[in-house]
A and B are shown apart, each in its own frame.
Chain A
Amino acid sequence: MTDDIVYLDFAASTPVDERVADYMRECRELSYGNPSSNHAAGRRSRALIDMAAAELGALLNVDPDTLVWTSGATESDNLAIAGAARHRAHRGKHLVTMPTEHKAVTDVCSMLENQGFEVTWLEPDDAGRLDPTVFAAALRPDTQLASIMYINNETGVIQDIEALGHLCRDSEVLFHVDAAQAVGKIPIDLGSLPVDLLSLTGHKFYGPKGIGALYIADRPGCHVEPLLFGGGQQRRIRPGTLPAEMIAGLGRAAKIAADRIEDDLEHLASLRELFWGGIREVDGLLVNGEFDAGFPGILNVSVADVEGESLLLSLEPICVATGSACNSQLQEPSYVLRALGRSDLEAQSSIRFSFGRPTRSEDVEYAASRYVTAVQRLRSLAPGTAA
């Protein structure tokens, strides 16, 4: 964190924890060998990877052998959905997901749709939640996979993964969960949670970028076909030389998260409450998602009569995310907020504030003050308002 910015975009990425960075520096000295090599240097790298798998496995309560290393959640999502779809094509070509999923899910589902798969896109309610009865009604004998994200990256809405997972088990449907925003942030016990495939990435919970993992449950029929070819690593599911130093960093981030998760949640809840207290009197505020039942690290708000892009620039040097078209690479208002029934203008004016472990109370108070001032200024500039 530098002094010239206030970073409130932890849902996009988190800074690497200093302990993780220190550990990765130590590992760099040890991990130059190819972990697939049987000589001493290779075995040292392999040992670091095994240690990381144990640390991540402990966080999720799974056997480390069920973890496949990837380049991040996007690859994990692609591998899970496309890989499972190809492996289970004999069962049918029906998939179930939501339009509010991350693009790493919706785009691969659309790609499969173009290849002859049928995708049922389930609409959320106004708060962004998926009703399990709606989900159950969508599952068919030819449904081979359902993919639902744990915590929505834009709104912080938490889906009832346990209920949805049981419905999948009852219907013998593979259940994939994009947990990029959830792993290391909320307790996840895959020993009891009925999830078959789970995607995660290191940089969302204070680990390095460029490394993630896919959990593949050790159950009959739960398997994915590879998307990459060229080696026997990771049981041929995801070949390629493993980056031991990066994996070690992810593992250490997982270990730290396991120790801190409850404290982090309490910290985030207090920050969000403090921020909300600072802005709640602004006329025309609209919370996108669920305040009480949502993930406390994310607060997404729209505001009436204010243009989103100007609001975003007015907030600088506060780093936040927006549903405004002009500052996204998509050049369209947030499709997630549109799926929640928000108008283009409401989506345009949305700002996602996301808090993190290093966020201080004074950061949040400053951001709230700047937000209120910016809204007042922009409204005063608009035609039809008082001078």
Chain B
Amino acid sequence: MTTGPYSATVRGLFADLEHAGDFEGATLARIDDQGVRIQLAAGHENGLLRTLRFRAWGCPHLLAACEAFCAEYEGRPASDLGDFTVTEILRNLSIPVEKTGRILVLEDAVRSLGRSICDGSVPQVS
């Protein structure tokens, strides 16, 4: 069977969305745009992203992109969020160019989360 419109990476991530969900105490960054909805939840400690979770309504590429972001950025400095772009995810997941607009919603959500953390609105993990 061919992979059709989805790369093997997308299929693997979509089948096992380990970072789906949210958790008590997290402040949420939430965006509804381009026909998709994304909610990111972060917990950080000493400037590091300890926990990242997402909820999303959208196509498999979007869900896989959210999972890839969370997996990649968990444990990294929160300050990295401000520089996040979806370029690498688009390439690594072989996302069709016509879906770029939807995936860019993730970029907006991540940067919004970064600003919230800088503002101190996301509680520290205790």
Residues on A with beta carbons closer than 8 Å to the beta carbon of B38:
383
Interface residues of B in 14-49 (CB under 8 A from A): 14, 17, 20-22, 30, 37-39
A-B contact pairs, 29 of them (CB 8 A): A4-B1, A305-B57, A307-B57, A307-B59, A309-B59, A309-B60, A310-B59, A310-B63, A313-B11, A313-B14, A326-B5, A326-B59, A327-B5, A331-B98, A378-B57, A380-B20, A381-B17, A381-B20, A381-B55, A381-B56, A381-B57, A382-B37, A382-B57, A383-B55, A383-B56, A383-B57, A384-B39, A384-B55, A387-B21
Bound CA–CA A307/B38 (angstroms) = 13
Residues on A with beta carbons closer than 8 Å to the beta carbon of B58:
307, 310
**Would you call A317 an interface residue if the criterion is a C-beta within 8 Å of the partner chain's C-beta atoms?**
yes
Residues on A with beta carbons closer than 8 Å to the beta carbon of B73:
none
Taking the nearest CB of chain A, how far is it from the CB of B8, in angstroms?
Answer: 13
- Contact: B55 with A5, CB < 8 Å? no
Give the secondary structure class of B's interface: mixed
Residues on B with beta carbons closer than 8 Å to the beta carbon of A378:
57
Of B20, B59, B63, which is in contact with the most chain A CB atoms at under 10 Å from its CB? B59
Give the secondary structure class of A's interface: loop
Residues on A with beta carbons closer than 8 Å to the beta carbon of B6:
313
Taking the nearest CB of chain B, how far is it from the CB of A48, in angstroms?
Answer: 36
- Contact: B63 with A381, CB < 8 Å? yes
Interface residues of B in 80-120 (CB under 8 A from A): 98-99
Residues on A with beta carbons closer than 8 Å to the beta carbon of B60:
309-310, 313
Instruction: Flag B48-74 by CB within 8 Å of A: 1 or 0 each.
Output: 000000011111100100000000000
Bound CA–CA A307/B35 (angstroms) = 10
Taking the nearest CB of chain A, how far is it from the CB of B63, in angstroms?
Answer: 6
Bound CA–CA A229/B49 (angstroms) = 71
Residues on A with beta carbons closer than 8 Å to the beta carbon of B5:
326-327
Residues on A with beta carbons closer than 8 Å to the beta carbon of B57:
305, 307, 378, 381-383
Of A5, A305, A381, which is in contact with the most chain B CB atoms at under 10 Å from its CB? A381
Bound CA–CA A157/B59 (angstroms) = 29
Interface residues on A, range: 10 to 19
Residues on B with beta carbons closer than 8 Å to the beta carbon of A387:
21-22
Taking the nearest CB of chain A, how far is it from the CB of B91, in angstroms?
Answer: 19
Bound CA–CA A385/B39 (angstroms) = 11
Of A378, A380, A387, which is in contact with the most chain B CB atoms at under 10 Å from its CB? A387
Residue on B with the closest CB to A313? B60
Residue on A with the closest CB to B39? A383
Given contacts A4-B1, A317-B1, A387-B21, contact A382 B55 (CB under 8 A): yes
Residue on A with the closest CB to B55? A383
Residues on A with beta carbons closer than 8 Å to the beta carbon of B4:
327
Residues on B with beta carbons closer than 8 Å to the beta carbon of A313:
6, 11, 14, 60
Taking the nearest CB of chain B, how far is it from the CB of A91, in angstroms?
Answer: 45
Residues on A with beta carbons closer than 8 Å to the beta carbon of B37:
382-384
Which 7 A-B residue pairs are closest in the complex by CB-CB distance? A383-B39, A382-B57, A309-B59, A383-B55, A313-B60, A383-B37, A381-B20
Residues on B with beta carbons closer than 8 Å to the beta carbon of A383:
30, 37-39, 55-57
Bound CA–CA A378/B15 (angstroms) = 11
Interface residues of A in 80-127 (CB under 8 A from B): none
Of A4, A310, A331, A383, which is in contact with the most chain B CB atoms at under 10 Å from its CB? A383
Taking the nearest CB of chain B, how far is it from the CB of A217, in angstroms?
Answer: 43
Taking the nearest CB of chain A, how far is it from the CB of B27, in angstroms?
Answer: 14
Instruction: Flag A359-387 by CB within 8 Å of B: 1 or 0 each.
Output: 00000000000000000001011111101
Bound CA–CA A283/B20 (angstroms) = 22
Taking the nearest CB of chain B, how far is it from the CB of A176, in angstroms?
Answer: 35
Bound CA–CA A310/B17 (angstroms) = 13
Residues on B with beta carbons closer than 8 Å to the beta carbon of A326:
5, 59, 99
Interface residues of A in 1-34 (CB under 8 A from B): 4-5
| 14 extra interface residue pairs, beta carbon distance < 8 Å, beyond A383-B38, A385-B55 | A307-B58, A307-B59, A309-B60, A310-B14, A310-B60, A313-B11, A326-B59, A326-B99, A327-B4, A381-B57, A382-B37, A383-B30, A384-B39, A387-B22
Residues on A with beta carbons closer than 8 Å to the beta carbon of B11:
313
Of A309, A317, A331, which is in contact with the most chain B CB atoms at under 10 Å from its CB? A309
Residue on B with the closest CB to A331? B98
Bound CA–CA A326/B63 (angstroms) = 15
Interface residues of A in 304-352 (CB under 8 A from B): 305, 307, 309-310, 313, 317, 326-327, 331
Bound CA–CA A382/B98 (angstroms) = 22
Bound CA–CA A383/B106 (angstroms) = 14
Bound CA–CA A294/B17 (angstroms) = 39
